[in-house]
C-alpha cells in the first residue's frame, strides 16, 4: 500500500509540474502532459526504488533531470505543435521535476525505503 501511495504522490507531483510548465507556459494540451507524466512516473519510480538507495538523493535527482529532459524532448518531437520551443520546454520541465524529485526522494527515504531496509535486515 505504501508503494501505491508513493506512486500516486509522484504522479500528482509530476503532472502538476508539467501542467504548469508545459500547459501554462507552452500551451501543450493536457492529454500530452498526462501521457508524459505517466511515462515519467512509471520509469522514474523504478529508479527511485532500485537506484535511490544506492546512489543517494543528489545523483538520483540529476538522473531524474536527464530522464525528464530526454523524455519531454523526444515525446515533444512527435506530440507538440511546431511553435513550441522544445529546448526551452524540455529544460524548464526537467529543472522543475528535478527540484520536485529532490523533495520526493526525501519522502521516499523517510517513509518507504528505510522501513523496507529495516524489514529486510531482520
Q: What is the pLDDT of residue 105?
A: 95
Q: If 0-12 CB within 10 Å is exposed, 13-18 middle and 19+ buried, where does residue 81 land?
A: exposed
Q: Where are the alpha helices (DSSP H) in 1-122?
A: 2-18, 26, 30-50, 52-55, 57-79, 86-108, 114-121
Domain boundaries, the chain: 2-26+33-109
User: Would you call 59 helix, strand, or coil by DSSP?
Assistant: helix
Sign of the alpha-carbon dihedral angle for 13, 17, 18, 24: positive
User: Is the pLDDT confidence value at 22 over 90?
Assistant: yes
**Alpha carbons 18 and 100: distance in angstroms, whole number:** 11
Which tens digits make up the pLDDT trace of 60-91?
Answer: 999 999 999 999 999 999 999 888 899 999 99
Q: What is the pLDDT of residue 121?
A: 42
User: Is the pLDDT confidence value at 120 over 70?
Assistant: no
pTM comes to 0.89
Instruction: Note whether 6 and 107 are within 8 A (CB).
Output: yes
What nine digits make up the cell of 42? Answer: 512509471
The closest alpha carbon to 66, from 32, 98, 29, belongs to 98
Amino acid at each position: 500500500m505504501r508503494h501505491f501511495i508513493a506512486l500516486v504522490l509522484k504522479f500528482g507531483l509530476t503532472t502538476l509540474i508539467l501542467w504548469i510548465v508545459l500547459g501554462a507556459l507552452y500551451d501543450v494540451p493536457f492529454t500530452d502532459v498526462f501521457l508524459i507524466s505517466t511515462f515519467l512516473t512509471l520509469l522514474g519510480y523504478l529508479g527511485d526504488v532500485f537506484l535511490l538507495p544506492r546512489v543517494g538523493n543528489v545523483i538520483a535527482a540529476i538522473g531524474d533531470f536527464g530522464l525528464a529532459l530526454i523524455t519531454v524532448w523526444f515525446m515533444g518531437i512527435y506530440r507538440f505543435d511546431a511553435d513550441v520551443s522544445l529546448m526551452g520546454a524540455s529544460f524548464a520541465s526537467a529543472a522543475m521535476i528535478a527540484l520536485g524529485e529532490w523533495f520526493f526522494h526525501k519522502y521516499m527515504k523517510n517513509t518507504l525505503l528505510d522501513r523496507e531496509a529495516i524489514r529486510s535486515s531482520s
